[in-house]
Amino acid sequence: MSATWFKKFEECEASALYELSEPPEELRPANAPKTEGVTPAMLVGNHIHSYFESGKSHQEFVEEHTPVRGDSKDEPTIYTQKGKLLSKYSYVDLMVKRMERFDLFNYFYNAPECQKEAIISGQIFGVNWKGKIDSLNVEKGYFCDLKTTAEIDRDFYNPAIRDRELWFDHWNYGLQMAAYKKLLQDQYHKPFHVFIFAVDKKTPEPAIESFEVDYGRIEKGLKEIEEYQPLLMDVIAGKTKPIRCGKCNYCRATYQPTGFKSLDIEI
């Protein structure tokens, strides 16, 4: 299990289960529903992550995602055929340069003892988990996560709590950090601090911020895993029918009405 897959199942069990068992592109039927694939936003985030991982990693990432003549136009890209950022993604260079001038980020994220893109694994409530940490400092007991966001202070309305919440909570990053913290503390038998370094996409000067993930968010994330994980594993094992969200690409592509609805439906 991973935080990414866990959250996919929370969003839509039917879509996540299909994606988990989906055949390779070349073996997929022409009419197969499309799942949520790689997006430009993901490529922007990975461009910045690879830049601060190492020069070699960044070069490999750019080369891997640079389009060549004849590539499918359906594949998203942020690069030209010469491996340069497309003009509409020129703000990404501004984000990188702003992070390079971020002293606190450089002190913690790029400390000599830090392992970049560190793979961790272990069990959480009896299920095998795996994760990748952006920057891990075992010696000093902390790990860092680099987040890119549209606006550093952007918030979203959450109908469940009838209030607005920061982007960090909206995208449930607390669950990811809780899982990583538990895996590390179980492995090394010591406490770990969780630091978030964020940069947004505003031009001409991206905003930056640093956060420490608090105990309450860690506990909330672990409780969420403990409560939902047994249900998720039953879905994967075929013991329980997956629930459809009714809103994602998969659900829209596979929906078959079995009757007639009233026009007085809630929008």
First CA to last CA distance, the chain: 35
pTM of the entire structure? Answer: 0.89
- Assess whether pLDDT exceeds 60 at residue 28: no
d(CA 190, CA 142): 10
How many angstroms separate the Cα of 83 from the Cα of each of 39, 48, 121, 187?
18, 15, 34, 40
**pLDDT score, position 237:** 96
- Assess whether pLDDT exceeds 50 at residue 27: no
Instruction: Average the pLDDT over 4-23 and give the result.
Output: 92
Q: CB count, 10 Å around CB of 154? A: 13
131 sits in which H/E element = strand 127-137
CA neighbor of 43 nearest in space, from 98, 89, 106: 89
Q: CB count, 10 Å around CB of 251? A: 16
Q: CB count, 10 Å around CB of 209? A: 15
- Assess whether pLDDT exceeds 70 at residue 31: no
Mapping DSSP to helix (H, G, I), strand (E, B) and coil, where does residue 113 land?
Answer: coil
Confidence class of residue 38 from pLDDT cuts 50, 70 and 90?
confident
What burial letters (b/e) apply to 173-186, b meaning 16+ CB within 10 Å?
bbbbbbbbbbbbee
What digits encode the pLDDT tens for the residues 61-119? 999 999 887 666 667 899 999 999 999 999 999 999 999 999 999 999 999 999 999 99
Confidence class of residue 58 from pLDDT cuts 50, 70 and 90?
very high
What digits encode the pLDDT tens for the residues 203-250? 999 999 999 999 999 999 999 999 999 999 999 999 999 999 999 989
- Give the architecture (CATH level 2) of 3-253: Alpha-Beta Complex (3.90)
Q: What is the largest CA-CA distance in the chain?
A: 64
Average pLDDT, the chain: 92
195 sits in which H/E element = strand 193-200
CA neighbor of 199 nearest in space, from 78, 92, 62, 41: 92
Q: What is the CA radius of gyration of the chain?
A: 20
Residue the block writes with tokens 């439906």: 265
CA neighbor of 236 nearest in space, from 245, 228, 226: 228
Tokens of 110: 């790029």
Domain assignments of the chain as residue spans, ordered by start: 3-253
